[in-house]
Structure 1
Amino acid sequence: MKNLKKTVIATLVFAFVGFSMNAQNGGSFGIKGGLNYSANGDYFESASTNAKHPDRNIGYHIGLFGKIGNKFYLKPELVYTATKSDYSSDEFSVKKIDAPILVGVRVLGPVSVFAGPSLQYILDTEFEGINIDNVEEDFSIGLNFGIGLSFNTIGIDLRYERGFSNNEATFIDNNLGAGVVSRIDTRPDQLILSLSIAL
C-alpha cells in the first residue's frame, strides 16, 4: 500500500512538472504561498459521545502552480500545507501535500472565480506531542472554491476548503488511562489566503 501511495505521489509530481512546462507556452507557471485559517473536525475522548469542537488557528502553505487559459482557465497546484487546530488546551497539527485542480473564469477585469477538487495526502499528524500514525485514510479529496485577483505576474486569491468524507485519526491518550483510545476528525475546514507570482 505504501509503494502504491509513493507511486501515485511521484506520478502527480511528474504530471505537474510536465503540465507546467507546457503551460509556459500558453499560460503561466510560478510559486505561491500564504496563510491558512483552519480547523479540523471534532475530537472525541475515549468512547465519549461528547465532542470537543476546535478553535481555528493560523497555518501556512507554500508550493507551485500552473495555469492555462485566460478568460477560462485550468489551474493545477502542488502545495505543502501545515495547519493547527486548538481543542481547549490541546493542539492538533497536520502536515500534508495538497494538489488542487481548479477551473476558473474571469468575471470582471482582474477578478475571477474558481472551484475544483483537491487531492490531499497526509504526511504527519501530531496531538500535543503524540505522533499519530493511525489515520483512517492518508489520501482524501476535498473541495476548493474562491475568488482571485490577477495583476500581470502577481495574483491574490481567497478560497474555502472542506474535506468531503469522514477521515478519523485514532490514538492512545495515556493521560486518560492505559489503552484508552481517542479520535479526531482530520477533515480540513479552512479559509486560505494566497499570493502567487508567475515566473
Structure 2
Amino acid sequence: MRHLKSKLNASKKSVLLILFLVSTLSYTYAQSATGFGLKGGLNYNANGDYFESIGDNAQNPDRNIGYHIGVFGKIGNQIYFKPELVYTSTKSDYNDDSFKMQKLDAPLLVGIKVIGPISVFGGPSLQYILDSEFDGISMDDVENDLTVGLNFGIGLNFNKVGIDLRYERGFSENEATFIGNNGIGTGRLDTRPDQLILSLSLIP
C-alpha cells in the first residue's frame, strides 16, 4: 500500500512538473510572440527653430501632443527585428502660430530582452512628409520629403500586448521655406522631429 501511495505521489509530482513546464513555455512564447500587429499612441513633439525672415532671431518651439497609428512586424525572441509603418500627425507651437505635419514613419528597430518582460531597442527611422502647414498656410517647399532619423527606447511585453516609450530625433536639418507673415521676406522652419513617443501595440 505504501509502495502504491509512493508511486501515486511521484506521478502527481511528475504531472504537476509537466503542467508547470508547459504553462511556463506557453507564457514565454506568448510574451515573445512573433508576427504582425497593430500599434498606436501619443507623440510629445517639437520641431526645429523658426526664422520669420532673414536676420531675425530664432524662435524655439513649444512642445505639443500629436498621435500615431500603424502596423508592425516582429521576428525573433531574445534578439528581435521589428520593422514598423506608422502614420504620424504632429504639432509644434511658435508664439501665436502652429506648425502641423503629417508623415509616414518607417522605423527599422533591433531589440534585445534585458530581464523578464523588459527590452531595449533602437535603429534608424525613415520619414516621408505627406503634408505640412504653418499658420493655416500649406508649405510645399520642403527641402527633403524623405529624411532619416534615430529611434531608441524601452519596451514592456505582456503576453501579446506591448507598451514602449521611445525618443526620436532627425539626423539633419530639413528646412521648409514660405513667405513671412508680413508678406515681406522668406520665413524658414526646421521640420526635423524631436519627440517622445508612447505606444501601445497588439499582436492579434
Aligned to 2:89, the other structure's residue is in SS state strand
Cα distance in 2, alignment partners of residues 193 and 48 from structure 1: 37
Cα distance in 2, alignment partners of residues 91 and 139 from structure 1: 22
1:158 correspondence with 2:171: no
Q: Decide which of 93, 98, 106 is 2:100's aligned counterpart.
A: 93
Q: CA deviation at 1:27?
A: 1.5
Other-structure match for 1:103:
110
Cα distance in 1, alignment partners of residues 52 and 198 from structure 2: 32
Q: Decide which of 174, 196, 199 is 2:201's aligned counterpart.
A: 196
The normalised TM-score by structure 2 is: 0.83
Cα distance in 2, alignment partners of residues 125 and 177 from structure 1: 19
Return the letter of the residue paired with 2:198. Answer: L
TM alignment of 1:38-49, pairs within 5 A: 38-49=45-56
Q: Hey, which bits of structure 1, 4+ residues long, moved more than 6 A? A: none
Q: Decide which of 21, 35, 48 is 2:42's aligned counterpart.
A: 35
Other-structure match for 2:192:
187
Q: Which has the higher strand share?
A: 1
Q: Decide which of 179, 183, 198 is 1:177's aligned counterpart.
A: 183
Cα distance in 1, alignment partners of residues 178 and 109 from structure 2: 34
Q: Deviations over 1:117-168 (max 9, x none)?
A: 0000000000010000000000000000000000111000000000001100
The normalised TM-score by structure 1 is: 0.85
Mind listing any 5+ residue stretches in structure 1 that lack a counterpart?
A: 1-25
Identity of aligned residues (%): 70
Return the letter of the residue paired with 2:193. Answer: P
> For structure 1, which segment, 140-149 or 47-56, has the greater mean C-alpha deviation from structure 2 after superposition?
47-56
Aligned to 1:176, the other structure's residue is in SS state coil
Q: CA deviation at 1:187?
A: 0.2
Q: CA deviation at 1:176?
A: 1.4
Q: CA deviation at 1:49?
A: 4.1
Cα distance in 2, alignment partners of residues 184 and 166 from structure 1: 9
Return the letter of the residue paired with 1:190. Answer: Q
1:57 correspondence with 2:64: yes
Instruction: Look at both structures and tell me which one has the larger radius of gyration over its CA atoms.
Output: 2
Other-structure match for 1:132:
139
Cα distance in 2, alignment partners of residues 133 and 99 from structure 1: 22
Q: Deviations over 1:6-45 (max 9, x none)?
A: xxxxxxxxxxxxxxxxxxxx82210000000000000001
Mind listing any 5+ residue stretches in structure 2 that lack a counterpart?
A: 1-32
Return the letter of the residue paired with 2:202. Answer: I
1:112 correspondence with 2:124: no
Number of paired residues? 172
Q: Decide which of 67, 72, 77 is 2:84's aligned counterpart.
A: 77
